[in-house]
Copies of this chain bind each other. A is one copy, B any other.
Amino acid sequence: MSSQAPHPTLLIPGPIEFDDAVLQSMAHYAESHVAPGFVKTFGETLSMVRKLFQSSNPAAQPFVISGSGTLGWDIVASNLIEKGENALVLHTGYFADSFATCLETYGANATQLKAPIGERPSFEEIEQALKEKPYKIITITHVDTSTGVLSDIKRVAEVVRRVSPQTLVVVDGVCSVGCEEIAFDEWDIDVVLTASQKAIGCPPGLSILMLSGRAINTFKTRQTPPSSYYASIANWLPIMQNYENFKPSYFATPPTQLVHALHTTLSQITARPMSERYAIHAQASDRVKAAVADLGLQQVASKPENQAHAMTAIWLPEGLAPPDVLPGLLKRGVIFAAGLHKQVATKYIRFGHMGVSVTDPNRSDVDKAIAALKEALTEAKQAKGL
């Protein structure tokens, strides 16, 4: 039986339901951040982050930093690109706009390559754009949490290496790491930035990044100093290297309890092959997508190949808005999220199906949510006379 107090099941695209052991790690007693016990925990955690990314290249470097996923954008924007350099931002929803704004804050020229809502830029468009001017970085939102659109980062990376080999491939993996396949070394990716609270299954408060040797080298050969302090790779790189070698090191106090929780969830995740974890998420996703179709509903992500496997953004029937449906779900013990993409936020809802809600065989969260959605929709339509 769960040690958690009774509560509605949180099925939004992050934060997600937590495993009991992960939450218990959050209540770890006080430790010095430079004492051997915590140093070991942090060092092991960093090594497990490598496994999470299926990476064994020692030139790559994981980072775990106190902050939200958003901080990862600042780390990219203030370290890996300089004032006046170009960034190509592939747009599949809300988060590309924000990443572009962050890049521009630090002086980069961000060019957005947009697709209609629910779609993604084509490989031909990407290739064409890369040929037009030299881009220091290209950014791809692996799964845009606002639309549920999945990008094919493997193929994008292939296009980049063929057309513009020096361009850094930067993946926003906030809603994909731990549920969508990522082969960091094999696909020749330069940066994946993510956060703790989605498919990694840890409470929010950790910015997690993986940088390739190429990315580290790009940072080291900057013409100008990094344009931030808290987000500076120069400040964090020695800290991460030291902890991973079990040496204490200080730049800023690490969030010791969150690191314990990350250690616990990564121990669980990396105990099994990542391929198995991806397959479980894909199976659950198939089940959700089939149920959505059975209800006569469409997804925001319009094509099977661009639909995320750990969340589903669902267009509501004409005449219904999120406030008509979400309370009916809550009444049935299930929490979904409202829309987030500004242009269409009132027309769809988002269902997160990741982490223990799909991997723990003792939980029936997805079935419960599908049943609740069906009932809540019927109820909402009746109330509106639809």
Contacts and interface: CB of A to CB of B under 8 A. Distances in A.
Given A68-B253, A69-B253, A74 B229 contact: yes
A335 interface: yes
Contact of A256 (B4, B12, B15, B252): B15
Nearest to A12: B32
A26 B29 contact: no
Contacts of A250: 340
Specify how many copies of this chain sit in the oligomer.
2
Interface in A55-107: 66-71, 73-74, 77-78, 101-102, 105-106
Nearest to A107: B227
A128 to B, nearest CB: 29
Interface residues of A, number: 61
Interface in A225-251: 225-232, 250-251
Contacts of A105: 225-229, 232
A67 B335 contact: no
B197 A253 contact: yes
Contacts of A258: 203, 205, 255, 258
A229 B30 contact: no
A311 interface: no
A1 interface: no
A10 interface: yes
A271 to B, nearest CB: 22
Q: Which 10 A-B pairs have the closest CB atoms?
A: A205-B255, A70-B252, A68-B252, A102-B229, A26-B26, A23-B27, A10-B30, A74-B230, A203-B257, A4-B29
Interface of A: 4-5, 7, 10, 12, 14-18, 23-24, 26-35, 66-71, 73-74, 77-78, 101-102, 105-106, 195, 197, 203-205, 225-232, 250-258, 335, 337, 340
8 contacts: A4-B29, A30-B203, A70-B230, A105-B226, A203-B255, A204-B257, A205-B255, A255-B258
